[in-house]
Structure 1
Amino acid sequence: MKKIFLIGSTASNLYLFRKDFIISCVEKNYVVYSLISEYNDEWIKKIESLGSKVLVYNLSRAGLNPLSDIKSMMEIKSYIEKYQPDLVFSFFTKPLIYGSLAAKLAKTPKVIGMIEGLGSPFTTHRHGQNFKMKIVRFFQISLYRVVFPFLDKIIFLNKDDPIDLIEKNKIYHKPNAVDILGPIGLSLEDYPYKRWDETQDISFIFIARLLAEKGVYEYLESAKIVKSKYPNVKFKIIGGLDTENPYGLSKEKLDVIIATGVIEYPGFVSNVIEHIAQSAVFVLPSYYREGVPRSTQEAMAVGRPVITTNVPGCRDTVVDGANGFLVPKWDIDVLVEKMCFFIENPEQVNIMGLESYKIAIEKFDVHTVNKKLFRILGID
């Protein structure tokens, strides 16, 4: 039986985003090992319930200590030498870099990496990028120069990322190594289509971490303007605070906004689908370097129109004017205009929402996505 190493970081992300892939690999009689660095017993049990074996290692995702990272690499290398996988498949920046280096040192037959968005180091803020992120970006590119030449495949989720990372920085790689997968996909049966109840007042929903780059400030500012004109319109935010992030919304500011009555904030919830189904329009004014945002895929599968930004990743979800609207990043005026469009034309919610659903069926079905991923990986 062939063996696959899946190298990630957080157990929750690996379970949520690789669940169906792991199940499919097990069904194909592959032995799957999931390597994780942030976990608890509950998430480990969930991963094991899929049929995967779990190996834990130490990695600081945000740390800048090269000695610590080398130690992580050697820990992964020892696992690879012990279990001798036929394929090492890594995701996210640090696992990709150090997992792939470990696989190369251990002479793994096939080494593949997936970049699910370029992330914060490649995200440009309205007032520029801070010095720390510029340094992180420099070192990331330098390490990609070391790793990419020996990767058998480098998988991206959107067509913009390889241009901005590989072409613009002239990073060498094997011929035909770069592949575009598209969205990771969803188990669509978990996101049933549901028409919006047209007897209800229009409502908007934002689902993301409460960070500047996810567009939370633009959403809040637009909500204030729209609600002053249409008091019955509802605005909801679902997502956790990230107090460690310098661009995060603080709890104090959030409490002040909640007190004004402009938004509803249930916080972190486990029934996201119900909240989407109860809302008319999904809004994500993100300028973060997304792969393809999962929350947008979920909203489209349920059958909701989308207002999002015309930036890499986000633009891959919307056909402008068909299932929603693409707006320029940071542009409050256009965002308000598109919100008001749905308020003044409520029949368009279900018309455009149905188009979102059709796109989701065509592009986001995880079973179709996994077939394409298996072809890229060379898995029978």
Structure 2
Amino acid sequence: MNFLLIASLAESLINFRGPLIAALQARGLQVHVAAPDLPQGDPIRQQLQARGVVVHSVALRRTGTNPVADVQTLWSLWRLMRRVRPDCVLGYTIKPVIYGSLAAWLAGVPRRFALVTGLGYAFQQQGQGGALQALVQRLYALALARVRAVFFQNPDDEALFRARALVAPGARTCIVNGSGVDVAAFAVAPLPPGPPCFLLIARLLGDKGVREYAQAARRVRALHPGVRCLLVGWIDTNPDAIAQHELDAWVQDGTLEFMGRLADVRPAIAACSVYVLPSYREGTPRTVLESMAMGRPVITTDAPGCRETVVHGDNGFLVPVQSADALEQAMLKFVHNPDLAARMGLRARQVAQDKYDVHKVNAVMLREMGIA
């Protein structure tokens, strides 16, 4: 049995879907993956091939709305499926879900599934972005009508898709606890000594709450100069991206310590005492799960995808979206109560083990796809 997994970012096949690929292989399936920018000799391609995965590089632009490029993506995926003849296809993130599902339907793939990992830039725009949002939603409705089941990573996204008729009233949906986290690989690390150290890991986008984090960090550090605020990530090719001059200003005035893009985020998590993600909306944020698994409390927003990870006052704090004031006050609670991070971090680890263990998450998906 051939299984085709379609991604828009090649490295996510290892970082986010590695355990799922391994679970599929353990059940005797031949796993194929398709993603852009995977030429011969590419390190990610080599890692996947070393695991017995068949790798295909396809024409797919993760961002952008060029119709010619998107038709090329659909054509490229259709040709691949006609050649590989997969028995089952799963796409995740917007373009793999839309064009992967449509290509699979056109190619006659018998078992088609989609994983909605978040809504993305197009859903969060108003005004000028309305036309783009309408187009994306029409494409979603067209594609999701042609799959057996749709996986969502939080109940808010599922409710929104149903309310907007992007999935049919009788369509099969399944809510899973994010992408899960390997709680063995992300083992508990001791908290660093001294004043609290905060950390945000994200693509440097406005809707990740990076500006609110910088504002709150500046205020907290003005009151308590010993506090450190770390930032890991990169400036993405996205209309909502943070400008380079903004990042440079935060670093130059000492507001944030920028660590760049890290292949392995565990050293950064180990260096912090509290993880912060002021995102406006998520599927389920993987960095939150990784930080919880390593015994870190979390400050995040009372927003879809984020609110499910934190019980307010138990393993962290929830703050309103786009509120630097509330974020500052939550950060100060850890400054004023030195024992809080250890207590909440212990609970965070327990939640990660009980709810977000990647093997439990994948078992649910495999059962729903009839593979368990």
Structure 1 length-normalised TM: 0.93
Partner Cα separation in structure 2 for residue 349 and residue 172 of structure 1: 41
Q: Which residue pairs with 2:316 in the alignment?
A: 324
Deviation at 1:271, TM superposition (A): 4.1
Confirm whether residue 302 of structure 1 aligns to residue 284 of structure 2: no
Q: Which residue pairs with 1:228 in the alignment?
A: 222
Partner Cα separation in structure 2 for residue 172 and residue 183 of structure 1: 19
Partner Cα separation in structure 1 for residue 356 and residue 120 of structure 2: 21
Partner Cα separation in structure 1 for residue 296 and residue 111 of structure 2: 40
Partner residue of 2:239 out of 227, 231, 246: 246
Partner residue of 1:161 out of 157, 160, 177: 157
Deviation at 1:216, TM superposition (A): 0.8
Partner residue of 2:168 out of 166, 170, 173: 173
Partner residue of 1:195 out of 168, 190, 193: 190
Letter in 1 for 2:229: F
- Deviations along 1:121-160, one digit per CA (max 9) or x if unpaired, are 1225xxxx351x3222111111122122221001100000
Partner Cα separation in structure 2 for residue 353 and residue 328 of structure 1: 21
3-state SS of paired residue (1:150)? coil
Contact 1:11 1:43 in 2 (8 A): yes
Deviation at 1:358, TM superposition (A): 0.3
Partner Cα separation in structure 1 for residue 46 and residue 132 of structure 2: 34
Q: Which residue pairs with 2:20 in the alignment?
A: 21
Confirm whether residue 255 of structure 1 aligns to residue 248 of structure 2: yes
Deviation at 1:172, TM superposition (A): 4.5
Runs of 4+ in structure 1 deviating by more than 4 angstroms, as ranges, are none
- Deviations along 1:82-134, one digit per CA (max 9) or x if unpaired, are 2221111111111111111111112111111111011111225xxxx351x32
Partner Cα separation in structure 2 for residue 274 and residue 71 of structure 1: 40
Deviation at 1:52, TM superposition (A): 1.0
- Deviations along 1:226-266, one digit per CA (max 9) or x if unpaired, are 11111111111111123x43332222222222121222112
Q: How many pairs are equivalent?
A: 370
Deviation at 1:269, TM superposition (A): 2.6
3-state SS of paired residue (2:177)? coil
Contact 2:138 2:166 in 1 (8 A): no
Contact 1:44 1:54 in 2 (8 A): yes
Structure 2 length-normalised TM: 0.95
Confirm whether residue 37 of structure 1 aligns to residue 36 of structure 2: yes
Q: Which residue pairs with 1:151 in the alignment?
A: 147
Q: Which runs of 5+ in 2 are unaligned?
A: none
**C-alpha spacing 1:115/1:223, structure 2 compared with 1 (3 Å):** same
- Deviations along 1:304-356, one digit per CA (max 9) or x if unpaired, are 11111000011111011100000001112211111111111110110000000
- Deviations along 1:9-37, one digit per CA (max 9) or x if unpaired, are 22111221111111111111111111112
Contact 1:158 1:182 in 2 (8 A): yes
- Deviations along 1:257-301, one digit per CA (max 9) or x if unpaired, are 2121222112223342122112111111111x3110111111101
3-state SS of paired residue (2:317)? strand
Q: Which residue pairs with 1:101 in the alignment?
A: 102
Deviation at 1:371, TM superposition (A): 0.9
Partner residue of 1:186 out of 181, 185, 210: 181
Q: Among the aligned pairs, what percent are the same residue?
A: 34
Q: Which residue pairs with 2:334 in the alignment?
A: 342
Higher mean displacement: 115-124 or 57-66: 57-66
Partner Cα separation in structure 2 for residue 259 and residue 86 of structure 1: 54
Contact 2:162 2:169 in 1 (8 A): no
Contact 2:8 2:35 in 1 (8 A): yes
Which residues in structure 2 correspond to 1:129-148 (within 5 Å)?
129=126, 131=128, 133-148=129-144
Letter in 2 for 1:211: L
Contact 1:183 1:363 in 2 (8 A): no
Partner Cα separation in structure 1 for residue 127 and residue 98 of structure 2: 23
Partner Cα separation in structure 2 for residue 148 and residue 247 of structure 1: 27
Deviation at 1:38, TM superposition (A): 2.6
Partner Cα separation in structure 1 for residue 267 and residue 69 of structure 2: 42
Q: Which runs of 5+ in 1 are unaligned?
A: none
3-state SS of paired residue (1:77)? helix
3-state SS of paired residue (1:249)? coil
Partner Cα separation in structure 1 for residue 48 and residue 262 of structure 2: 21
